[in-house]
Amino acid sequence: MTAIVHDPPMTRPAPRRGAPRGLAALVRSELVLFSRDPGSVFFALLFPTVLAVGLGFALPGMRDPIESPGSVYDGALVIAMFMPVIMATAIAAPALTTLPSYVAGYRERGVLRRLAATPMRPHGILIAQVVVNVIAFVAAAALALGLSAIVFDLEPVRQPLLLVAAFLLGAAATFGIGLLIAALAAKASTANGLGMLAYFPLLFFAGLWTPGPIMPDIVESIARFTPLGAASQAMTEAWFGTDVPWLQLGVMVAYVAVLYPLASRLFRWS
């Protein structure tokens, strides 16, 4: 009697976890698209540097030292007070305008829906957009700070690790607002409009018009509970002070903890 041997049933390989398939190619594609958009390149990458150099040379007294005996600002250049604000500006454009507009534009044109039928799942486009915009704001801040340090001969930061932590937390908190806009906006124009509505008030509280040391008390109190205001205040303390701004750091963590799950819950693919 001959034994009958059955072939084992064919099984599909277990799905791979981690980064979506083709993510690297998608990131490269998004970088190319970003680089071909003059508006995005200027506002997300070059505007902080233009703003820093413009403030330093266009306004009188910006390169003069501050005379405030007993203050942490004594001897620092006036333009140095604006450096935390410049870093906040580097965060604002990619987080509040570029990212929401691109994602909402893909939704409007049906790109996200079509990606659902390919090996690249739709959430890959979100990851790629975040990666591109993170590269943009980090490069923008590095360019602005590096050139300003050379041109204006800025003094070293007193707490560099705190500066980096406040900068990254401020970016994470502000990107939470951008992701929430991207989750809800049906069109790119809507996302851009909502982003600009958030852009100018948040930069006001960050101190773009009245930096921290000269900000009215009531405005300063409100600003510490906004993502860019808290980031700017924390970075100012890192630049000039010796304390740890726990309240501002906690505020930024709270924005991340609330906005990211909310944006994920409300997100629509079409």
The pLDDT assigned to 25 comes to 84
Any domain includes 10: no
The pLDDT assigned to 128 comes to 87
Q: Rounded mean pLDDT of 32-55?
A: 90
Q: What pTM, to 2 d.p., does this model score?
A: 0.87
Any domain includes 13: no
C-beta of residue 163 within 8 angstroms of C-beta of residue 171: no
Q: Rounded mean pLDDT of 216-239?
A: 95
**Buried b or exposed e, range 108-146, using 16+ CB within 10 angstroms:** beebbeebeeeebbbebbbbbbbbbbbbbbbebbebbbe
The pLDDT assigned to 8 comes to 45
Whether 157 has a pLDDT exceeding 60, the answer reads yes
Whether 254 has a pLDDT exceeding 90, the answer reads yes
Any domain includes 36: yes
Which range marks the domain in which residue 111 is found?
23-61+69-266
Q: Rounded mean pLDDT of 229-240?
A: 96
**pLDDT band for position 170 (cuts 50, 70, 90):** very high
Any domain includes 14: no
The pLDDT assigned to 194 comes to 96
- Whole-number Cα distances in Å, 241 to 84, 171, 174, 187, 222: 13, 21, 24, 44, 21
The pLDDT assigned to 120 comes to 66
Any domain includes 171: yes
Any domain includes 4: no
Whether 20 has a pLDDT exceeding 80, the answer reads no
Q: How far is CA 27 from the centre of its chain?
A: 17
C-beta of residue 192 within 8 angstroms of C-beta of residue 100: yes
Whether 39 has a pLDDT exceeding 90, the answer reads no
Any domain includes 6: no
Any domain includes 16: no
How many domains does the chain fold into?
A: 1
Q: Rounded mean pLDDT of 251-259?
A: 97
**pLDDT band for position 29 (cuts 50, 70, 90):** confident
Quote the mean pLDDT of the chain: 87
The pLDDT assigned to 21 comes to 60
Q: Rounded mean pLDDT of 84-98?
A: 94
The pLDDT assigned to 223 comes to 95
